[in-house]
């Protein structure tokens, strides 16, 4: 997704999500759009598709929560001290965009009643934050790539692939900052949406 340009408010950037479509607006006009109604009403959407989108929505809710928490406490993190606050601000925008797209696709089937958490052990130091980011973004990339294999329509496969591509950039930032190479395997592995859900629950992020 295209980042917000300076001088463009978030209200201008994402429009009409409640009507079932997301339109991304920049200073020069419409940047991109995606029709959520086609996803929500298409006869090709299966029960499995809905489950996948719902787990992805929960994961994106967590991603938004984590990035907001990092930005809120940004200057408190030491060992190492976190750098490049601008990255975290723009990454938050990406995750909010994903969240809005999934909500537009699910509409009345958007999950409720779950809670996201950020256990203290994941944010005790700057290194903990970076390691947590690597773990989460790895899971997100693998889960969205796995969704490409299981989604029943071209539109949904494209949505999953496009989000996976964006999440890969977040993995690279975290991995490099955490001391890694910032590079995924040449052919990244995939996980099922149920494996992704189990990971989020077992690690204490979602209940």
N-to-C CA span, the chain: 29
Q: Does pLDDT of 37 surpass 80?
A: no
Stated pTM of the model: 0.80
Nearest 5°: the CA angle 52, 54, 186 is 45
Q: 44-202: which CATH topology?
A: Ferritin (1.20.1260)
Average pLDDT, the chain: 84
| CA 79 to each of CA 120, 121, 122, 124, 152: distance values in angstroms, whole numbers, following the listed order | 16, 14, 13, 10, 45
Q: Does pLDDT of 174 surpass 50?
A: yes
- List the domain boundaries for the chain: 44-202
Q: Does pLDDT of 18 surpass 90?
A: no
Q: Whole-angstrom Cα distance, residue 177 to residue 2?
A: 23
- Cα Dmax for the chain: 52
pLDDT grade, residue 12 (50/70/90)? Answer: very low
Asked whether 55 and 146 are in contact (CB, 8 A), the reply is no
Q: Which residues contact 146 (CB under 8 A, 6 or more apart)?
A: 190, 191, 192, 193, 195, 196
pLDDT, tens digit, 9 for 90 and up, residues 97-154? 999 999 999 999 999 999 999 999 999 999 999 999 999 999 999 999 999 999 999 9
Residue from 141, 128, 100, 114 nearest 201 by CA: 114
Q: Whole-angstrom Cα distance, residue 177 to residue 126?
A: 10
Residue 88, both tokens: 């975290």
């Amino acid at each position: 997704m295209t980042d917000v340009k300076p001088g463009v408010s978030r209200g201008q950037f994402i429009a009409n999500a409640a009507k079932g479509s997301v339109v991304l607006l920049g200073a020069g006009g419409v940047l991109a759009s995606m029709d959520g109604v086609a996803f929500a009403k298409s006869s090709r959407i299966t029960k499995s598709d809905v489950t996948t989108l719902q787990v992805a929505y929960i994961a994106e809710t967590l991603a938004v929560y984590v990035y907001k928490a990092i930005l809120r406490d940004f200057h408190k993190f030491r060992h190492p001290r976190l750098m490049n606050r601008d990255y975290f601000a723009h990454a938050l925008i990406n995750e909010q965009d994903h969240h809005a797209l999934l909500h537009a696709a699910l509409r009345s089937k958007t999950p409720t009643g779950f809670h996201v958490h950020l256990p203290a052990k994941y944010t005790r130091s700057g290194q903990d934050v970076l390691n947590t980011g690597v773990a989460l973004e790895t899971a997100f990339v693998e889960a969205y790539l796995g969704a490409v294999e299981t989604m029943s329509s071209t539109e949904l496969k494209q949505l999953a692939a496009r989000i996976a591509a964006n999440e890969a950039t977040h993995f690279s930032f975290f991995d490099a900052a955490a001391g890694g190479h910032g590079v995924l395997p040449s052919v990244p592995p995939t996980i099922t949406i149920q494996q992704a859900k189990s990971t989020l629950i077992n690690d204490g992020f979602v209940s």
